[in-house]
Amino acid sequence: PSDQSPYGVRDLGGGVRDWCARSDYGDLPEKRFPIRGGSYGTVEVCCRCASRTLVERDYVGSHVGFRLALSL
């Protein structure tokens, strides 16, 4: 319960930053993809939960992953 968002989601703090859908960002360069969220394994500015950045399509990092989600 201490790591629970206002929406009831748990275990989001400190994990990995998430790859996101390009459609959320409008027009992007073809080879760039957005990642959002924070991770304790990155520099200080990228630890924030509201952190956002763009990376190359073939970017690999131990602090970047993805989350499987199902709309109810």
DSSP string for 17-63: EEE--GGGGSS--TTEEEEES--TTS-GGG-STT-EEEEETT---TT
Give mean pLDDT, residues 48-59.
84
Specify the pTM.
Answer: 0.62
pLDDT at residue 12, rounded to an integer: 67
Residue 61 has pLDDT above 80, yes or no: yes
What are the tens digits of pLDDT across the range 13-53? Answer: 667 888 887 766 667 777 888 888 888 788 887 788 788 88
pLDDT at residue 16, rounded to an integer: 84
Taking the CA atoms of residue 43, residue 49, residue 53 and residue 55 in that order, the dihedral angle to the nearest 10 degrees is 80
- Give the residues across from 29 on adjacent strands: none
pLDDT at residue 1, rounded to an integer: 63
Tally of CB atoms within 10 A around 53: 15
